[in-house]
Structure 1
Amino acid sequence: MTPLLSVKDLHVSLPTAHGPAEAVRGVSFDLQKGETLGIVGESGCGKSMTALALMGLLPEGGRAGGHVVFQGEDLLAADEAKLCDLRGNRLAMIFQEPMTSLNPLHRIGDQIAEPLRLHRGLSRRQAREQAVALLDRVGIAHPRERLDAYPHQLSGGQRQRVMIAMALSCDPELLIADEPTTALDVTIQGQILDLIHDLVESSGMALILISHDLGVVAETAQRVMVMYAGRIVEAGPVREVFADLAHPYARGLFAAIPGLPRAAKDATGYPRPPLPTIPGVVPELHALGPACAFADRCGLSEPRCRTDMPPDVFLSPRHWAKCWRTDAARSLLP
Structure 2
Amino acid sequence: MVATVLVVGANGQVGRALRAASWPADLAPVFLDRRQLDIADARTVCSLCQMHKPAAILNAAAFSHVDKAESDPEGALAANRLGPLNLAIAAEAHGALLLHISTDYVFDGSLRIPYPVDHPLSPLGVYGRSKAAGEQAVAAACRRHLIVRTAWVFSAWAGNFARLVFDRARGGLPLKVVSDQTGSPTPATDLAAACIAMIAQALQDDSSRLFGTHHYVGGPIADRLALAAAVLDEAERQGIARPDVTPVPASTFAAPAPRPAWSVLDMSKTTELFGLPQPDWRPALAEAVQVWAREKETPA
TM-score range normalised by the length of the shorter chain: 0.3 to 0.5
* TM-score under structure 1 length normalisation: 0.31
Larger Rg: 1
* TM-score under structure 2 length normalisation: 0.34
